[in-house]
């Protein structure tokens, strides 16, 4: 039998070894010129990342959480506002909402895409909110609802046409959480054009955490926007509220992007399209090889979406068992995310109960993220698939009968 060694869930060593000389040259440039904060390296990255996202501005910030927070603040979220998002995201989305002064309010997800369900969004706005003096007010809490944060989860954009229409109808701003979706595309039926993540809302937050499709060698993030005023406000927020040194119009934050990280990201940005293509072709191959495996639900990519597969996530009945057995075969996996946010201790204060978001709750018990990174080889991938098929078919089959209401086969 061919040995495949360990197949990690994510390989962060190989891509850096491939670029080692160039990465070291960036560092050398920074230390030789004392380029640590601001400067050309930062501006060049911001210019090219904005271009990559088809946005007018990109503003480098310290991390993705700050990016979403600053985007919400610059967009105008006020203390006490309700901000709509999904329960199946990384907690940074809702931390950013709270840190901007808002309070998260959840709407359930679509069972196929795992993104915000526009039908449930409409139901929430129609049934739980009312229009009052030109504003949308949550009937029960009497708080204003001012924003929606669709999360482009796993690298696939949310159903933006419907979300943007509802936002316009109810006077809400849309801030995209694009932290997992660098380069993802959405085909709008309205203007019959493809749009890039980060170019559709009033602003969007990106994370460059090392494992992201575009990752720094440390913490980093950016906000993109087409709005000049929002861009100006974010530049102030990230830099202690100043437009000119020591002239502070507002209180801001220490939320800048390091010059060194900007230089590293600029270098890596040249490879991003190729890496995303590699992820897309690996995803296609995963789906081709796993197609027809009883009890495994594959990712669904609607015709209006070009996902960039930050993660390749399948659903199975016996998720923990499969994970443990794959680990025994030297294959790394992960769960994104095991506990929906409304069931987390941190959000007990919001008063949600189990059962409030049945799709997110069900999906959270069944998802498992398979190895996905551009350097994954086809033979490694084939081995992962062989193991998944073998384990699911041999060992999880009886469970599928019990769970047939939720695991309705493949798609």
Ligand X SMILES: Cc1ncc(COP(=O)(O)O)c(C=O)c1O
Q: Does 222 bind ligand X (CB under 6 A)?
A: no
Q: Does 177 bind ligand X (CB under 6 A)?
A: yes
Q: Does 113 bind ligand X (CB under 6 A)?
A: no
Task: Name 223's bridge partners.
Answer: 59, 205
Burial class (CB in 10 A: 0-12, 13-18, 19+), 349: exposed
Pairing of strands 247-248, 242-244: antiparallel
List 11, 41, 53, 64, residue binding ligand X (CB under 6 A): 64
As measured in angstroms, the least distance from the Cβ of 96 to ligand X is: 7
As measured in angstroms, the least distance from the Cβ of 207 to ligand X is: 3
CB nearer to ligand X: pick between 93 and 276: 93
Contact between 26 and 44 under an 8 Å Cβ cutoff? The reply is: no
Those residues with Cβ within 8 angstroms of residue 314's Cβ, 6 or more apart along the chain or in another chain: 290, 296, 297, 298, 299, 367, 368, 370, 388
Those residues with Cβ within 8 angstroms of residue 10's Cβ, 6 or more apart along the chain or in another chain: 211, 332, 334, 371, 372, 373
Cα dihedral 95, 99, 100, 101, rounded to 10, equals 110
Q: Which stretch binds ligand X (CB under 6 A): 173-181, 340-348, 383-391, 399-407?
A: 173-181
Those residues with Cβ within 8 angstroms of residue 228's Cβ, 6 or more apart along the chain or in another chain: 56, 57
What is the sign of the dihedral through the CA atoms of 197, 87, 59 and 100? positive
CA distance 153 to 197: 11
Those residues with Cβ within 8 angstroms of residue 284's Cβ, 6 or more apart along the chain or in another chain: none
Q: Residue of minimal CB distance from ligand X?
A: 64
Q: Which residues ranging from 194 to 213 are in contact with ligand X (CB under 6 A)? A: 207, 209
As measured in angstroms, the least distance from the Cβ of 283 to ligand X is: 18
Q: Which stretch binds ligand X (CB under 6 A): 10-18, 176-184, 285-293, 392-400?
A: 176-184
CB nearer to ligand X: pick between 175 and 290: 175
List 7, 151, 160, 257, residue binding ligand X (CB under 6 A): 151
- 143's tokens: 């708080």
CA distance 277 to 308: 8
CB nearer to ligand X: pick between 207 and 259: 207
CB nearer to ligand X: pick between 180 and 199: 180
List 41, 45, 53, 65, residue binding ligand X (CB under 6 A): 65
Q: Which stretch binds ligand X (CB under 6 A): 52-60, 90-98, 354-362, 393-401?
A: 90-98
Number of residues that bind ligand X (CB under 6 A): 15
List 45, 49, 90, 347, residue binding ligand X (CB under 6 A): 90
Task: Give the H/E segment covering residue 244.
Answer: strand 242-244
As measured in angstroms, the least distance from the Cβ of 254 to ligand X is: 15
Contact between 181 and 207 under an 8 Å Cβ cutoff? The reply is: no
List 7, 77, 84, 93, residue binding ligand X (CB under 6 A): 93
CB nearer to ligand X: pick between 209 and 357: 209
Contact between 332 and 10 under an 8 Å Cβ cutoff? The reply is: yes
As measured in angstroms, the least distance from the Cβ of 110 to ligand X is: 16
Q: Which stretch binds ligand X (CB under 6 A): 61-69, 265-273, 283-291, 341-349?
A: 61-69
Contact between 259 and 35 under an 8 Å Cβ cutoff? The reply is: yes
As measured in angstroms, the least distance from the Cβ of 337 to ligand X is: 9
Q: Does 89 bind ligand X (CB under 6 A)?
A: yes
Note the residues at the interface with ligand X (CB under 6 A).
63-65, 68, 89-90, 92-93, 151, 177, 179-180, 207, 209, 221
């Amino acid at each position: 039998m061919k040995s495949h060694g360990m197949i990690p869930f994510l390989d962060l060593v190989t891509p850096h070894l491939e670029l080692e000389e160039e990465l070291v040259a960036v560092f050398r440039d920074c230390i030789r010129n004392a380029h640590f904060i601001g400067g050309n390296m930062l501006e060049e990255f911001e210019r090219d990342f904005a271009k990559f996202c088809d946005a007018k501005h990109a503003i480098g910030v310290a991390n993705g959480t700050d990016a979403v927070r600053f985007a919400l603040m610059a967009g105008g979220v006020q203390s006490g506002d309700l901000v709509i998002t999904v329960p199946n995201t990384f907690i940074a989305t809702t931390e950013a909402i709270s840190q901007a002064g808002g309070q998260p309010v959840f709407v359930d997800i679509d069972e196929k895409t795992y993104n915000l369900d526009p039908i449930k969004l409409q139901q929430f706005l129609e049934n739980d909110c009312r229009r009052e003096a030109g504003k949308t007010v949550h009937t029960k809490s009497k708080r204003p609802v001012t924003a929606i944060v669709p999360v482009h989860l796993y690298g696939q954009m949310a159903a933006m046409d419907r979300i943007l229409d509802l936002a316009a109808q109810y006077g809400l701003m849309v801030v995209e959480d694009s932290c997992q979706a660098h380069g993802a595309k959405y085909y709008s039926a309205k203007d019959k054009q493809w749009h890039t993540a980060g170019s559709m809302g009033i602003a969007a937050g990106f994370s460059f955490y090392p494992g992201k499709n575009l990752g720094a060698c440390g913490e980093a993030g950016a906000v993109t926007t087409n709005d000049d005023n929002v861009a100006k406000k974010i530049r102030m927020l990230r830099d202690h509220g100043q437009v000119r040194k020591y002239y502070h119009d507002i209180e801001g934050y220490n939320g800048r992007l390091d010059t060194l990280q900007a230089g590293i990201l600029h270098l890596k940005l040249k490879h991003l399209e190729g890496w995303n293509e590699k992820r897309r072709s690996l995803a296609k191959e995963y789906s081709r090889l796993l197609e027809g495996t009883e009890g495994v639900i594959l990712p669904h990519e609607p015709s209006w979406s070009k996902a960039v597969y930050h993660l390749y996530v399948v659903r199975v009945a016996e998720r923990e068992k499969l994970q443990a057995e794959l680990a025994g075969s030297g294959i790394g996996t992960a769960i994104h995310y095991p506990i929906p946010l409304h069931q987390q201790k941190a959000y007990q204060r919001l008063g949600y109960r189990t059962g409030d978001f049945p799709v997110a709750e069900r999906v959270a018990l069944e998802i498992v993220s398979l190895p996905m990174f551009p350097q994954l080889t086809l033979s490694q991938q084939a081995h992962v698939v062989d193991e998944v098929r073998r384990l699911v078919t041999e060992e999880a089959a009886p469970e599928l009968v019990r769970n047939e209401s939720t695991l309705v086969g493949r798609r």
